[in-house]
Structure 1
Amino acid sequence: MSWITSLYDTYVKNTSMIGNELDSEVPLIPVFHMTMQATIEVALNEKGEFRRAEIVDGSEQTIIIPCTEASSVRAGQKPEPHPLIDKLQYLAKDYDRYGEKYHGYDKYLEQLKKWADHEGVDSKVRAIYRYIETGTLISDLIESQVFTLDADTLSWGIRAEQAKPKLKPNESVIRWVVEEPGVLESRTWKSKDLMDSWIEYYLSTQQEIGFCYVLGQMVPLADKHPKNIYNMTANAKIISSNDSVNYTYRGRVESPAESYGLSLEVSQKAHNALRWLIAKQGYNRGRKTMICWTNTGVKVPDIYDDGFGFLDSEDLEQTETIDTGEYLASSLKKKLRGYHSTFDKSTLVNLLALESVTDGRLSITYYKQMGALDFIERLENWNNHCQWLHRYYRITVGQDKYKNVPFIGAPSPINIAETVYGNRKNVDERLKLKTVERIQNCIFDGTLIPLDLVRMAFQNTVNREGYTDEGLFEKSLSITCALVKKYYFDYKKEVYTMALDKERTSRDYLYGRLLAVAQNVEQWALSKAGEQRLTNADRLLNRFSTHPYTTWQTLEVGLKPYLDRLSGAGSTHREQLIDEIMSLFNPEEFMNNQPLEGEFLLGYHCQREDLRRKKEFVAATNHDENGGNE
């Protein structure tokens, strides 16, 4: 099933959401309709006589209006008018006295008359046509003090003083209210009868019939396709064939109709569904947007979030114990496993990425469709093989009080991208988003974790002095460990646990443990002395990763004064721990001064966490191995 068929199917199965503006900032809109920002509201009676006018409140400006295929993509010096609600230049007969020479009144009136004369048209349309025909709109707005006239120049009047419209008076958009006896809904942009009336009439005017590849029927074909799909690239279109001179389709076919056949209905519904999905649940950054959705409308986990984001508030409330990470890891597994009972076997999940390189074109850079159960299984596998213990999230525990909440899970794609590129400024956002897309491929296409991403994350993390914020370093460290763990599983089929493995004797892992103990000893001593600075182990982290043997000799000599300053059981335990780790080394490997690989950070992080947990246990039991908390 193609992307456009999936979007069309999504629209059909979510018709109950049409016009529901509370559901999203951009509602799912009917076919042959679009959204627009209204500035002025004009009220008429059933005979088309002027009643009043007022400035539209800012919170109510976005409305749904009828449009034609041409007006929805209008551009150029003589843009097409919308059928009913539009700018002042189309609605005012004498607009040329106050604005540009071309104003489109005649074309608007002609189009509105055809609709008003159509059998079964909504009575509101006839009332608006009668009023527009009189040509008194601007004079009525002046009389109502919405506008004021100064030497044939329109300015905002008294009624606009409080609202302070952002547009100039001659750029105003007029919306209509038609008050009829016995009719409850007088607002044209809210009337379902009026919407249905326009759809029925517009379809009756279509004469070009062709074969639609989606419906498999001979139906009216689309000639122009919608824009304004994604607000950061408002003029970009996915489907376009307006360039008959250059290279859009020339050289392969003689006309656009020969290259594809897409009905007006399918084009409208698919693009409306896409616009709605992007606004409602898209991952939108700059000129790129990515969305994940089901054809049935069933909610899926946010694939652009991490394991922490999958959890509910009820899970996060259970965070008072030291083993919070394990509790949340178990909750995450249950949450993902629970989706198996939510989805039907026929449910399909779609992933779509769009990017605009130019203002006029919106390209599909990624599209994949899979069964919902397969989707959840791949998400589970990703979280199992790329999970690690993270401590970079904070939750509110009171007024102006926060605490860090550890969680076990896979990091989000964007956090991975930011770790890969480190703290470097002026990094092109497109590079980060390309990385997000590559991670998405790892999750759902089963590709191996890219080696370049793992290496870049490692190099940025060991550059400890590049992180002025300790929290950012801790975040980078745990995310890099997750990537390294995934690397070993993908390329070497080796599974690493997050608990400290005291039996592991690999050179890189043991050197990581040694560095963690050295960092802990010096940090403990500095804390007791009230000093705040990076430890020698922190400052030499980068050098240690490239020359571990010689750097350890420097660090080991420097540890002696700190151990002497601490003394007591705690100091003795650290010295014993160093000796224990040293005894696990193969002597030849210990003296090997070659650069360390990613496993080094796994040993470093696991040893630090083991020491942290012992400190937490000491604090929780009011017992101190050295006569005071470390």
Structure 2
Amino acid sequence: MNWLANLSQTYDDHAHVAGQFELKKDGREYALIPLSHTTQTAHIEVHLDMEGHFLSAQVVCKEEGSTIIPCTEAAASRTSAPVPYPLFDKLMYVAGDYVRYCEAPKGTPHQDYLSQLQDWCNSPYGDRKVRSVYEYVRQGTLIEDLVRHEVLHPGADGKLLGKCTPELEKRIGKRPEIFNVIVGDQSGAFVRFAVHEPGQIEHRLWRDTQVQESFTQYYASRMEDTDLCYVSGEWLPIAEKHASRIRHSGDKSKLISANDSAGFTYRGRFRTSREAAVVSYEVSQKGHNALKWLIERQGTTKDGKVFLVWGSEQLKQPEPQEDIYDLFAAHEMEPEVMGDSTHKQYALQVRDALVGFRYDPQYASIADVTIMILDAATPGRMSIVYYRNLDQNVYIDQLEHWYITCYWRYRYRKNQTASTGSATFVKTPTPKDIAFAAYGPRASDKVVKGLMERILPCIVDQRQIPLDIVRSAVQRASNPVGMEEWEWQKTLSIACALVNKHYAKEGYGLYLKAESTDRSYLFGRLLAVADVLEERDLNREKKRSGSSSHRATNAVRYMNVFSHRPLRTWKIIYAQIQPYLVRMGDKSFFYNKLCQEIMGKFELQQFNDEPLTGLFLMGYYNQRDEMYTSKQAKEAGQANSSQEALQDPPDKVTDDHSE
């Protein structure tokens, strides 16, 4: 129950903002819900005076529909059985004239609603504004008033229309607003109330803290069944039913449920659910309400799976799924253009971006970070599939280690214009990018969320990236013919980042490791030489003829089969580049010499047809990069002194892969 205690403490730390709405990026509202409350989407807003007289009504737009409503345990878990909410609810509960305009419901929902509302009003905790609502709804004229003000629309038979008709649109001159906000027919509309005092004072009851506190105290006074709470260790009123709607307003899944007395929830181990666990109503409400608030505020949802990170002192924390450039942007940092600069620049930028979370003076030096993943296997049961609570400094250290060990060069066209051109940046791939690199851009949300879950321990706990993910990314990057140029370049960079992370102890990096004798790395270098050689000749011919067509080189076309049978495929590629070498004349000396130097590093028994590891991609990428950038660096007078530059190719070739 550590997770519930943690969430309950989070609620206590931020109880001062309970009931206060905030705006999401999409313009929708959310709030930390007070105890004994929940949220619903309202469709109709009714305005009353203090004596309970109808003033006006309007349809609520979708962006403003989120409504905090008082809620009992029974109402929070209602399904098909009619159980009313105490104040705001659907027409079948609130409208006394419902049967006049709609099909008669089962049971007595309106009478149950009135009885419950009257009991609240007559209690010592009753509120006069709630009394105004009671005085109005007991008159039984709600739907009649809404029809009169053209908020609801009946048909020729006097019953509310199930859907909008052309005749209705023609009669009122437009599509009725109610049909733009409600799913289903008008009888399912949810109603909320506002009360006006003399002097133009409006009380929107769903935001009125006095009304919220009134119901919280009233409902607490009615709870008499107490027991020892397993979370707080105190003797408190217990929760028989726990909250749903955790991920969104339509979510019926629960984290805690023990209502299956005839099934296998606890049968065979305990006689009653209380012997398994007892959670107090207060702790359950605080924990679940804090969880809902955090998910709305900063959670990441993928196909129903929620990824959530929060801090005990500083709620907003850098997330493992977050793009490092988003973190740079949050700190108004521009990513360094990585021409001939080293990985050290990138590492320094990462540390600068994270230092604000590590040394923020307004927070305590000792703080925790909680990481939680939620998912529901069935519509009614939700589980915590991953949970970690660790020191904030340890968490930041783990993130920093991930960012500066799993990285590679990316080619992007930033603010693409004819003058800006392209630039190369060092970047760490996000888990989502890794998923698309490993399984393709059409990977289902189920596959993507599964990979994101598997990558999370690699970031937080410094575990090795699963080998099947690395192999899948390498396999896709080895097949450039099946992708567009920009997609292949991105996939290649992500695959190299994963391979670089996998072989971190070998000391490979962004630049060519000329002293390496690994056969896969060497074969990758050979492939790059053949690729650059043919690409140079093709570009020259394209300029001469004025053609805009682009043909893939033999090295690119054969890359996939080359990764499986390198020796046999190299013989084919080498034979096909001979005409290009002949046309070069003396300029071919550079490429022949480079091939000889690379082949001289092979041990005789290694020059065989065994499949290559992912290092061949790094060898290919680094050798190409070396051949293109060494001349550029020399022209700019910025030759990198930390590495031995190879001889420049005879002619400069533009290497501009933009996304």
Q: Same fold (TM over 0.5)?
A: yes
The answer on 1:276 being equivalent to 2:288 is no
- Distance, in Å, in 1 between the alignment partners of 2:223 and 2:82 is 20
- Distance, in Å, in 2 between the alignment partners of 1:462 and 1:370 is 39
2:645 matched residue in structure 1: none
Deviation string 1:287-315 (CA, Å, 9 cap, x unpaired) is 21111111223422121124333322743
1:547 matched residue in structure 2: 565
The answer on 1:146 being equivalent to 2:146 is no
Deviation string 1:117-172 (CA, Å, 9 cap, x unpaired) is 11242211111111111112122223323334432312488598552434333222
1:507 matched residue in structure 2: 519
2:224 matched residue in structure 1: 207
1:92 matched residue in structure 2: 95
1:396 matched residue in structure 2: 415
Q: Answer yes or no: is the 8 Å Cα contact 1:224–1:240 preserved in 2.
A: yes
- Distance, in Å, in 2 between the alignment partners of 1:229 and 1:446 is 30
2:453 matched residue in structure 1: 437
For 1:374, which of 394, 409, 414 is the aligned residue? Answer: 394
1:253 matched residue in structure 2: 270
1:71 matched residue in structure 2: 75
For 1:362, which of 382, 389, 394 is the aligned residue? Answer: 382
For 1:524, which of 527, 536, 557 is the aligned residue? Answer: 536
1:22 counterpart SS class:
strand
2:509 counterpart SS class:
coil
Specify whether residues 389 and 27 from structure 1 end up closer, same or farther in structure 2 by C-alpha distance, changes over 3 A only. same
Q: What is the Cα deviation at residue 281 of structure 1?
A: 1.8
Q: Answer yes or no: is the 8 Å Cα contact 1:388–1:408 preserved in 2.
A: yes
Question: Gaps spanning 5+ residues in structure 2: where?
Answer: 543-548, 638-647, 655-659
For 1:332, which of 337, 340, 350 is the aligned residue? Answer: 350
Query: Aligned runs of 1:114-133 on 2, under 5 Å?
Result: 114-133=119-138
Query: Aligned runs of 1:221-236 on 2, under 5 Å?
Result: 221-231=238-248, 234-236=251-253
Greater Cα shift, 200-209 or 233-242: 233-242
Q: Answer yes or no: is the 8 Å Cα contact 2:338–2:425 preserved in 1.
A: no
- Distance, in Å, in 1 between the alignment partners of 2:75 and 2:414 is 48
Q: What is the Cα deviation at residue 97 of structure 1?
A: 2.2
For 2:500, which of 452, 477, 485 is the aligned residue? Answer: 485
Q: Answer yes or no: is the 8 Å Cα contact 2:523–2:566 preserved in 1.
A: yes
- Distance, in Å, in 1 between the alignment partners of 2:287 and 2:174 is 39
Amino acid at match of 2:603: N
1:134 counterpart SS class:
coil
2:486 matched residue in structure 1: 471
2:359 counterpart SS class:
helix
1:113 matched residue in structure 2: 118
- Distance, in Å, in 1 between the alignment partners of 2:260 and 2:34 is 29
Amino acid at match of 2:627: L
Q: Answer yes or no: is the 8 Å Cα contact 1:185–1:191 preserved in 2.
A: no
2:641 matched residue in structure 1: none
For 1:559, which of 560, 567, 577 is the aligned residue? Answer: 577
Specify whether residues 394 and 277 from structure 1 end up closer, same or farther in structure 2 by C-alpha distance, changes over 3 A only. farther
Deviation string 1:501-545 (CA, Å, 9 cap, x unpaired) is 122222221111111111111122222223412211011112211
2:179 matched residue in structure 1: 165
- Distance, in Å, in 2 between the alignment partners of 1:222 and 1:474 is 55
Specify whether residues 474 and 100 from structure 1 end up closer, same or farther in structure 2 by C-alpha distance, changes over 3 A only. same
Q: Answer yes or no: is the 8 Å Cα contact 2:536–2:653 preserved in 1.
A: no
Question: Gaps spanning 5+ residues in structure 1: where?
Answer: none
Greater Cα shift, 305-314 or 343-352: 305-314
For 2:64, which of 36, 40, 60 is the aligned residue? Answer: 60
Amino acid at match of 2:159: T
Q: What is the Cα deviation at residue 84 of structure 1?
A: 0.8
Amino acid at match of 1:42: V
Q: What is the Cα deviation at residue 412 of structure 1?
A: 1.3
1:174 matched residue in structure 2: 191
Amino acid at match of 2:609: N
Deviation string 1:329-370 (CA, Å, 9 cap, x unpaired) is 431232234533136442111111111111111111111111
- Distance, in Å, in 1 between the alignment partners of 2:551 and 2:377 is 45
- Distance, in Å, in 2 between the alignment partners of 1:191 and 1:250 is 44
Specify whether residues 395 and 22 from structure 1 end up closer, same or farther in structure 2 by C-alpha distance, changes over 3 A only. farther
Specify whether residues 545 and 4 from structure 1 end up closer, same or farther in structure 2 by C-alpha distance, changes over 3 A only. same
2:160 counterpart SS class:
strand
TM-score by length of 2: 0.87
Identity, % of aligned pairs? 37
- Distance, in Å, in 1 between the alignment partners of 2:61 and 2:69 is 17
- Distance, in Å, in 2 between the alignment partners of 1:165 and 1:228 is 24
Q: Answer yes or no: is the 8 Å Cα contact 1:89–1:104 preserved in 2.
A: yes
Amino acid at match of 1:163: E
- Distance, in Å, in 1 between the alignment partners of 2:635 and 2:486 is 22
Greater Cα shift, 612-621 or 538-547: 612-621
Query: Aligned runs of 1:25-36 on 2, under 5 Å?
Result: 25=28, 26-36=30-40
Specify whether residues 329 and 613 from structure 1 end up closer, same or farther in structure 2 by C-alpha distance, changes over 3 A only. farther
Amino acid at match of 1:556: Y
The answer on 1:349 being equivalent to 2:372 is no
Deviation string 1:218-276 (CA, Å, 9 cap, x unpaired) is 11111111111113971111111121111111111111111111111111111111112
2:507 matched residue in structure 1: 495
Amino acid at match of 2:208: S
The answer on 1:296 being equivalent to 2:299 is no
2:470 matched residue in structure 1: 454
Amino acid at match of 1:16: H
Specify whether residues 588 and 295 from structure 1 end up closer, same or farther in structure 2 by C-alpha distance, changes over 3 A only. same
Q: What is the Cα deviation at residue 6 of structure 1?
A: 1.3
Specify whether residues 541 and 291 from structure 1 end up closer, same or farther in structure 2 by C-alpha distance, changes over 3 A only. same
Q: Answer yes or no: is the 8 Å Cα contact 1:618–1:629 preserved in 2.
A: no
Q: What is the Cα deviation at residue 286 of structure 1?
A: 0.7
Greater Cα shift, 128-137 or 525-534: 525-534
Specify whether residues 5 and 402 from structure 1 end up closer, same or farther in structure 2 by C-alpha distance, changes over 3 A only. farther
Specify whether residues 406 and 222 from structure 1 end up closer, same or farther in structure 2 by C-alpha distance, changes over 3 A only. farther
Greater Cα shift, 22-31 or 221-230: 22-31
Greater Cα shift, 514-523 or 480-489: 480-489
Q: Aligned pair count?
A: 619
Q: What is the Cα deviation at residue 577 of structure 1?
A: 2.2
- Distance, in Å, in 2 between the alignment partners of 1:615 and 1:207 is 82
- Distance, in Å, in 2 between the alignment partners of 1:542 and 1:575 is 24
- Distance, in Å, in 2 between the alignment partners of 1:277 and 1:401 is 44
Specify whether residues 458 and 18 from structure 1 end up closer, same or farther in structure 2 by C-alpha distance, changes over 3 A only. same
Q: What is the Cα deviation at residue 113 of structure 1?
A: 0.2
Q: What is the Cα deviation at residue 497 of structure 1?
A: 2.2
The answer on 1:420 being equivalent to 2:438 is yes
Specify whether residues 161 and 464 from structure 1 end up closer, same or farther in structure 2 by C-alpha distance, changes over 3 A only. closer
Deviation string 1:84-120 (CA, Å, 9 cap, x unpaired) is 1111111111212222322610000000001111124
Q: Answer yes or no: is the 8 Å Cα contact 1:35–1:64 preserved in 2.
A: yes
Q: Answer yes or no: is the 8 Å Cα contact 1:146–1:160 preserved in 2.
A: no
Amino acid at match of 1:449: I
Q: Answer yes or no: is the 8 Å Cα contact 1:422–1:461 preserved in 2.
A: no
TM-score by length of 1: 0.91
- Distance, in Å, in 2 between the alignment partners of 1:127 and 1:171 is 24
1:290 counterpart SS class:
strand
2:424 matched residue in structure 1: 406
**Cα-Cα RMSD:** 2.8
2:5 matched residue in structure 1: 5
The answer on 1:535 being equivalent to 2:553 is yes
Q: Answer yes or no: is the 8 Å Cα contact 1:178–1:188 preserved in 2.
A: yes
